[in-house]
Structure 1
Amino acid sequence: MTGPRVFESLDAEWALVCAGAGRAEMVLGWLREGGVLFGDERARGLAELLAELECRDRAQGRVHSDRWMRVLLERAVGEGAGAQLAARVVVQAMLPGAVRMTQRLLRAGRDFDETGQVVVACLYQVVRRYPLGRKGGVAANLLLETLHMASRELQADTETDAVPWHPVLETAAVPGEPAADDPTEAVWRTVLRRQAAEAGLIAAGEVPDGARGELVELLVWAVAAGLLDGVRARVIADDSRAGARESAERAGVSAVTWRQRRSRTVRQLRPIADQWVQAA
């Protein structure tokens, strides 16, 4: 199972889709016509076929995922049962990213399943309307536009918290690769950098990563959730910059005072971090 109820339901639905007679052969035929799978490929179930595609994605990279996704998207933007089936296969391939996106979009007062329903509904719309002439990584484009649409849906009454459109992420990877190279992570890092810069948590052009990246993400979430004042968040972010301790010492802050300040920060962030983990 990929996650709580909304995604459990989709997995159960996927099992029924896979059980339908002739569906795997139909999808396999489309892929063969598109030059993705060749004549020596044996017939297999739809779930096994998708697993094989994802395995090849990991081995061959984004070029492979772009090719087979475009073949199915050409069908998905049309009409009829074939379009619905093609769209459903693409959506199933993107579900791990949809789960992580749902986790990223959680805020105080938001229910996981309600948020997930919005994300999945937006993902379906994006798949069925995908502009086939768009360049760049297909998976990254799908996720980025879904994130844009879902954020608008969830924050329609809070313009400053909505996620605007960003340029195509040319360097995004493919579904199923390690988290650091996952298109969902690439999309979120772009949004996170924008939100963190707007909140004054990072300098212009800074790319927070590692432990500092995790701290900045926590601070962005805490401020959005109303658990931390924006001014305090900026102080904490400044204290976590490389060389911050040395700068404080040059400004006359003693080592003892610095340790006490860091201890206060840890005590303040610990319960917030617990809520962040629970929300995710």
Structure 2
Amino acid sequence: MNGTRVFESLNAEWAVVCAEPGHTEMVLGWLREGGVHFGDREVEGGLSEVLAELGRRDRTQDRGHSDRWLRVLLERAVGEGAGALLAARVIVQAMVPGAMRLTRRLQAGRDYDETGRVVVACLFQVVRRFPLGRTSGAAANLLLETLHLASRELKAESAEGGVVQYPYLDAVLSGEPADDDPAQSAWAGVLERRAARAGLLRDGEGVDGARGELVELLVWAVGAGQMDADRARVIADETRVGAQAGAGVSAVAWRKRRSRTVRQMRVVAERWVQAA
């Protein structure tokens, strides 16, 4: 169907995930450990049938059923490694109908596929950092958080001059605290050592909050060959609080420099998401 390529691609990718040996048994094992049991028929049907059966049970049982199996997978999805990514991917696939509804709601004259890509990316972020203490009404909460995050991201794309500004980056570049981080960092110690070796931190600086997310992105960009190390150090210096005051440039020149940095970081951020 024209205008729905993003979801067609998502479904095609899901078929590949389902075909991967071991994925079905891995997910079934997690569900069994969490008290959600299946018979032989669902096992033989593969991962796609497991998800379909969960959907059928959700429609015939109370909301507690979806909360139970979503909690099992969310506990895995917020972790690290291939298992976490698989758990997150299963949840995202289960939420595709809701993501399509959000895309239609947020489209507002925008290209459907471009809007859908933002919604899917935000959904994946929400799944990966979902607070486990909020699993009552998990499906609704996932969609609500995705709606809020995607709405902010899409509004940010209306920035002056056509520059796409991601909220967490724009907040860091302005020297302000950010409310939205792209992911939760579970490896702060490793990141701090890598950032220090790359010359991205000064004495006493940490890798917490929005600034930590920016440093993490710069570390990845240098390591992946997406950015020169010298350029990464310049960005790290320019984005420190008070950097403009000591730069000796006009406000207009500083805004142009910041816009140039955001454009470059947008490309890097998109490649980071694709690599993840």
User: TM-score when scaled to structure 1?
Assistant: 0.54
1:249 corresponding residue in structure 2: none
Q: Specify every segment of 5 or more residues in structure 2 that has no aligned partner in the other structure, as ranges.
A: 160-178, 180-276
2:261 corresponding residue in structure 1: none
Q: Distance in 2 between matches of 1:83 and 1:114?
A: 26
Structure 2 counterpart of 1:152, which letter? R
1:58 aligned to 2:59? Answer: yes
1:28 corresponding residue in structure 2: 28
Deviations 1:156-206 (A, max 9, x none): 2779xxxxx9xxxxxxxxxxxxxxxxxxxxxxxxxxxxxxxxxxxxxxxxx
2:124 corresponding residue in structure 1: 124
Q: Distance in 2 between matches of 1:119 and 1:13?
A: 17
Q: Distance in 1 between matches of 2:15 and 2:25?
A: 16
Q: Distance in 1 between matches of 2:62 and 2:31?
A: 17
Say whether the 8 Å CA contact 2:71–2:135 is kept in structure 1: no
Q: Distance in 2 between matches of 1:79 and 1:104?
A: 32
Q: Secondary structure at the match of 1:122?
A: helix
Q: Secondary structure at the match of 2:95?
A: helix
Determine which structure has more spread, i.e. the larger CA radius of gyration.
Answer: 1
1:93 corresponding residue in structure 2: 94
Say whether the 8 Å CA contact 1:2–1:96 is kept in structure 2: no
Q: How has the CA–CA distance of structure 1 residues 2 and 10 changed in structure 2, closer, same or farther, with 3 Å as cutoff?
A: farther
Deviations 1:15-49 (A, max 9, x none): 00000001001000000000011577762300000
Deviations 1:97-154 (A, max 9, x none): 000100011112x100000000000000000000001153000100000000000000
* Distance apart, 1:53 and its partner CA: 0.4
Percent identical? 73
CA RMSD across the alignment = 2.3
Q: Secondary structure at the match of 2:28?
A: helix
Deviations 1:80-101 (A, max 9, x none): 1100100000000000000010
Q: How has the CA–CA distance of structure 1 residues 39 and 48 changed in structure 2, closer, same or farther, with 3 Å as cutoff?
A: closer
Q: How has the CA–CA distance of structure 1 residues 144 and 80 changed in structure 2, closer, same or farther, with 3 Å as cutoff?
A: same
1:73 corresponding residue in structure 2: 74
Q: Secondary structure at the match of 2:91?
A: helix
* Distance apart, 1:77 and its partner CA: 0.3
Q: Distance in 2 between matches of 1:41 and 1:66?
A: 23
Q: How has the CA–CA distance of structure 1 residues 135 and 19 changed in structure 2, closer, same or farther, with 3 Å as cutoff?
A: closer
2:50 corresponding residue in structure 1: 49
Q: How has the CA–CA distance of structure 1 residues 70 and 78 changed in structure 2, closer, same or farther, with 3 Å as cutoff?
A: same
Say whether the 8 Å CA contact 1:2–1:99 is kept in structure 2: no
User: TM-score when scaled to structure 2?
Assistant: 0.54
1:133 corresponding residue in structure 2: 133
Structure 2 counterpart of 1:151, which letter? S
Structure 2 counterpart of 1:149, which letter? L
1:155 aligned to 2:143? Answer: no
